[in-house]
Structure 1
Amino acid sequence: MGASRARMVPVVIAVVSLGCSAKLITRFGPRAVLLAGMASTTVALALLGRLPVDASYAVDVLPSVLLLGVGAGLALPALIGLAMSGATPADSGLASGLANTTQQIGGALGVAILAALAANRTDALRGGGKPSAEAATGGYHVSFVVAAGLELLGTLLAAVVLRSGGKKGRGPGRPPR
């Protein structure tokens, strides 16, 4: 993948996070925006889980990359807002540090586990006589499908655990009107 293609997800995250997530959170509330972002990410990961060996970037990869960027760009600001909304000024540094540390450790563990699943599946397929490209693609399929399943589980848990937050237009940390 070229360098410009590799930067697509962070660029989309930045555009969505900085360009529209705050407006959407203000209008619909952090819960709704978080759930929409997580749903977008779930779909993106599921699409990546079906990539063919001879995938075309424009047809097979780009839609998923854009959905991942939109999903993260919506979910991350909403999640941080929700994590910080109950913190007192005295505890805000601790709450912020805990939220960011959890995000970093969770991401690192997730990538490590998914990479191990992909490698294990790839090795099993190679041992069964599959060509290298087909085996590697099969390994990635497993990791993306597992990631999509975990994201779906997280989305469902967030939908159940997070309360709706009351009126539209109420963002994190804002008192009711």
Structure 2
Amino acid sequence: MPGRDATLYSMTICFIDSPVGRLALEAEGEALSAVRWASTAEKAVGRPSPVLKEAARQLARYFDGKLERFDIPLVQRGTDFQNRVWRMMRDIPYGETATYGGMAMALGSGPRAVGMACGRNPLPIVVPCHRVLGSGGSEGGYSGGRGLPTKRHLLALEGVVLP
């Protein structure tokens, strides 16, 4: 179709089993475009691209405690504000956390807007929305996997102790 992004037509999907459930990894062209929790009924689409193979390898290393920062080409489609939040999340170091309020202050916004952008993150784990907490170190929310138990698991994997 004229005017449509050609990468939409070259999407591939593969699946990996992880300590937080079965994950679907999606690529558009040569970039990782989504990480999401998948059912066992879902099937792969296309042949795993090099970026999906590398994403699977890096996620396995992350879950083994051997990778602290992902180095994969990413594509994230969102509003300007969402993209700013997602860039800020990528800068939160492994084993550390930020707060919705602190991020909001840095962005000139409100904590709720930051939380909404976190919830729309198409690349959880790789873009570490699990590292964003509520005020006073409260867990806040988490929309991936089993919700807060998944967020707690990811934080514990990184050595973060919640109050």
TM-score by length of 1: 0.22
Higher strand fraction: Structure 1 or Structure 2? Answer: 2
**Greater C-alpha Rg:** 1
Select the structure that is richer in helix.
Answer: 1
- Kindly indicate whether structure 1 or structure 2 has the higher relative contact order, using CA contacts under 8 Å at least 6 residues apart: 1
- TM-score, length-scaled by structure 2: 0.23
